[in-house]
Amino acid sequence: MQANGQILRVIIVSFLIAIFLGPVVIPVLKRLKVGQSIREEGPKSHFTKAGTPTMGGIIIILAVIISLFTSGYYTQEIWAGLFFTIGFGFIGFLDDYIKVVLKRNLGLRAYQKIIGQLIFAFLLALYGSRHSAEGTKLIIPFINTYIDLGVLYIPFVLFVVLGTVNAVNLTDGLDGLNTGVTLIVMAAFSLIANSMKDESIIYEGISIFSAGISGACLGFLKHNANPAKAFMGDTGSLALGGAVSVVAVLSNMVLLIPIIGGIYFAEALSVIIQVLYYKRTKKRVFKMAPLHHHFEMCGWKETKVVAVFWIATVILAFIGIYSV
């Protein structure tokens, strides 16, 4: 009961902090003129969003940090969660800063981002192999058993973390889309970890950390839902990708990411299919990638795309919860 009370407290605190930080941080971002630039090849309806402050992910990160620091619950899992969330978020912050403050449209070069992500992904895989709830074992959904990857654990987790972080980043393209999807995903991981807390104390810390992320996303929706007053930018999307990854790795639920995070998976897969098919045939499978833009180009309103993707994530989350 005590753990459940702690989870609820962290959710409420991170939610309230994210809400109240908006009126403080957003005007600062406006003064710094860190407005979002819109791609010319993107949906025409997005042109009205030009100039909307980006780097709003700072609000999410601060809300999580403050809520966890004031929780009085300090465990190795909490520190690891914060470290990797902030680490990936810092890469996104550098990218955003170069793009919107230094006015270099491309931000960090692709190889620079990959190197930064590789470093943190490798550290997370190494850490998970030694300090996750079940070491190098992974939970296999639906059959309630584990598979021990042994020496293959680090390269496999490295690949999954890189894919997850970038998939979460690709999902950030519509008002409230990534924020809402990640809110649901982290709530699902929190519920699963909480149900397993009797097996290992590690799950309790994972559940509380996930709850902090979920609460911060819920609060940030106040500023990010359509019409968005601020975008999270790569600062927020890479931080959230890191948070999803660290929770999945430490709880040995990496194989649940394609289920609970099915929207992330679909978004990334749509980009891969589009690029490979276009290189081979000079034709496109989707009207535009990632997938959310395809539905926009099909005539769906932005709010409808977001709502459908949220509902799909809720369904996938329930499937994921009942698979373990």
| Mean pLDDT in residue range 180-202 | 93
| Mean pLDDT in residue range 245-257 | 97
Residues 88-135: tens digit of each pLDDT: 999 999 999 888 877 676 778 889 999 999 999 999 999 999 999 999
| Mean pLDDT in residue range 252-263 | 97
Pick from 149, 120, 119, 155: nearest CA to 135:
149
Residues 51-65: tens digit of each pLDDT: 789 899 999 999 999
The dihedral built from the CA positions of residue 20, 229, 245 and 61, taken in this order, carries a sign that is negative
Q: For residues 56 and 136, give the distance between their C-alpha atoms in angstroms, rounded to a whole number.
A: 36
166 in a known ligand binding site: no
Residues 140-180: tens digit of each pLDDT: 999 989 999 999 999 999 999 999 999 999 999 899 999 99
Confidence of residue 1 (pLDDT cuts 50, 70, 90): very low
* DSSP one-letter code for 36: P
Judged by DSSP in three states, 139 sits in strand
pLDDT at 278: 94
For 20, residues 6+ apart whose C-beta sits below 8 A from its C-beta are none
| Mean pLDDT in residue range 212-239 | 96
| Mean pLDDT in residue range 279-304 | 94
Residue 279 phi, psi dihedral angles, 5° rounding: -65, -30
Residues 65-76: tens digit of each pLDDT: 999 999 888 899
226 in a known ligand binding site: no
DSSP structure string for 226-244: SSPS---HHHHHHHHHHHH
Confidence of residue 31 (pLDDT cuts 50, 70, 90): confident
Domain residue extents for the chain? 2-134+145-255
For 12, residues 6+ apart whose C-beta sits below 8 A from its C-beta are 215
Q: For residues 13 and 68, give the distance between their C-alpha atoms in angstroms, rounded to a whole number.
A: 9
For 21, residues 6+ apart whose C-beta sits below 8 A from its C-beta are 59, 62, 63
Judged by DSSP in three states, 119 sits in helix
Q: Where are the beta strands (DSSP E) in 84-241?
A: 137-140, 145-148
- If you average pLDDT over every residue of the chain, what do you get? 92
Instruction: Provide the terminal-to-terminal Cα distance of the chain, rounded to the nearest Å.
Output: 22
Judged by DSSP in three states, 172 sits in coil
Asked whether the predicted pLDDT for residue 42 surpasses 70, the reply is: no
Asked whether the predicted pLDDT for residue 2 surpasses 70, the reply is: no
CA dist list (Å): 51 to 27, 31, 32, 232, 296: 13, 12, 11, 13, 21
